[in-house]
Chains A and B, each alone.
Chain A
Amino acid sequence: MDNQTPIASEEKINEAKKLLSQAGFENPANRLSCEAIIQSKSELAITELISTLQELLSEKEIVYQEYKQKIASIAKEMLPLKPQTPPPAV
């Protein structure tokens, strides 16, 4: 559409596609917007999209690790509450 727009390399396009599949957007409109950006093949827009998705994934990972730790510590506290089964009668 615009001859002045630098085209993104195949490698960059594939990276954006891979990150999009990992982002796990629940809203189809977000996924659609990302697909449109990839489809545009614009070097600038795809570079920006890659950095946005990388940021999102790293934030999600940090939040997930926090959640995992919290749940692990709650589970540890819950363990002794598990009803103890009596030892089998000999």
Chain B
Amino acid sequence: MDPQQESPESQKARLESQAEQAKQNYQEKVKVSEKKAEQKILGLSKQNVVKAGMLEVLDLAPFIFGYSVADVVVAAEAVTDIVYSIKNKDINAGIRGAGKLAIAAVPGVPVSGAAPYLNEWLPNEEKQKTTQQEQNIKNTPTQNG
């Protein structure tokens, strides 16, 4: 339609729709750029030295002392798997990560480092359930007191 013959209302609607389309294109292009960067970052994260860095970021570093690099890497892999599972909504990777944490040859590795990320991944009702369970554990009196 010739814009000269368009009513102001339909012209306004057309321009608003163009603005919305421009916004969507912008968001889509940003997403593509971030996805590209994400792939490179994920590649870098696979290096053993970076996995050790991951443990430090998650405040798991004190538990590294006294263990071999191989042990630490198993624990770091577990955490990276969980992070990957959140990022890609891949439940299998999450289970694999949790399994690795359970068998990690570092007995002191606290799951608490990964817990906030797991929590984010859970649906709301599961989140509430977990929080309630944590609260119950805190409120349970110990045998000594």
Contact = CB atoms under 8 A, between A and B. Distances in A.
Interface of chain B: mostly helix, strand, loop or mixed: helix
Interface of chain A: mostly helix, strand, loop or mixed: helix
B120 interface: yes
Interface in A4-40: 5, 23, 25, 27-30, 32-40
Contacts of A23: 37
Given A2-B49, A52-B41, A28 B11 contact: no
Contact of A48 (B36, B44, B52): B44
Contacts of B38: 27, 30
Contacts of B40: 48, 52
B34 A81 contact: no
A83 B30 CA distance: 35
B115 interface: no
30 contacts: A1-B49, A1-B72, A25-B34, A27-B87, A28-B117, A29-B84, A29-B117, A30-B37, A32-B54, A32-B83, A33-B42, A33-B45, A34-B41, A36-B45, A36-B51, A36-B56, A36-B57, A39-B57, A40-B52, A42-B50, A48-B44, A49-B44, A52-B37, A52-B40, A52-B41, A59-B33, A59-B36, A63-B30, A67-B25, A81-B12
Interface of B: 8, 11-12, 15, 18-19, 22-23, 25-26, 29-30, 33-34, 36-38, 40-42, 44-45, 47-54, 56-58, 69, 72, 83-84, 86-87, 117, 120
